[in-house]
Amino acid sequence: MMTAQGRRAPDARTPFAPPAAADAAAEARLLDRLGLEAQRRGLLDVAYRTLDTPVGSLLVAATAEGVVRVAFDCEGHDAVLDGLAERVSPRILPAPGRLDEAARQLDEYFAGRRRRFDLALDLRLARGFRQKVLGRLRAIDYGATATYAAIAAAVGSPAAVRAVGTACAKNPLPVLVPCHRVLRSDGSVGQYVGGHDAKKALLELEAA
């Protein structure tokens, strides 16, 4: 005699699914292998990883030319990856290898053991005036600060204080390009892409 189960139309989907735990391990292994092989074949346009820091989880992304993006949690990492897909290339995979050196230097910085970064940067996400501002920001030393007005004057556009503020707010490489070292003329901390608290935390770290 057939059981009720035997008479029922077979649910073809369920038994085809392997156990979830084994599957997750296989998928993680395959994703690692894909990232490595994509890099080897020159197909990995953007590699990224995340990094736990005292100012939250940072996303760090690099092209073959250098680090192209650093993003705070508050920017939404998914949204940041969407932006990279649109503006750089959709060939994006998590691939920690390319970011090892950047991660190491950022760790040292947050531990107070590094005062300048020695990394190749890809500035393609900031063109024209904004790229010029970023170049100027890179000249502000660890522990020092400047004002928006001083940066505007330094890039030859003393009236463009607001545009300098925008360039800082849209800095694609915060922390590495130290827009947190730019303050308002009245000495107040001002806005920051990673939030006011993150800016204060970075300034305090560098003042220690």
- Which lies closer to another protein via its Cβ, residue 83 or residue 195? 83
For the record, the structure tokens of 202 come out as 């970075």
Structure tokens at 129: 């005036």
CB of 158 to another protein, least distance (A): 38
- Decide: residue 79, CB within 10 A, 0-12 exposed, 13-18 middle, 19+ buried: exposed
Pick between residue 37 and residue 108 the one whose CB is nearest to another protein.
37
Q: Which is nearer to another protein, 12 or 207 (CB)?
A: 12
Residue 13 C-beta: closest distance to another protein, Å:
6
**Which one is catalytic: 134, 179, 198, 202?**
179
CB of 64 to another protein, least distance (A): 15
Q: How far is CA 21 from the centre of its chain?
A: 30
**DSSP character string of 13-32:** SGGGSPPHHHHHHHHHHHHH
Interface contacts to another protein, rule CB under 8 A = 1-3, 5-6, 10, 12-13, 15-19, 22-23, 25-27, 29-31, 33-34, 37-38, 41, 43, 46, 81-82, 84-86, 89-94
Residue among 47 and 179 whose Cβ is closer to another protein: 47
| Chain-centroid distance, C-alpha 150 | 27
CB of 25 to another protein, least distance (A): 8
End-to-end CA separation in angstroms for the chain: 81
**Phi-psi category of residue 121: left, alpha or beta, with phi > 0 → left and psi -120 to 50 → alpha:** beta
Q: Angle 96-110/20-40 helices, nearest 10 degrees?
A: 90
* 179 a catalytic residue: yes
Q: Catalytic residue positions?
A: 179
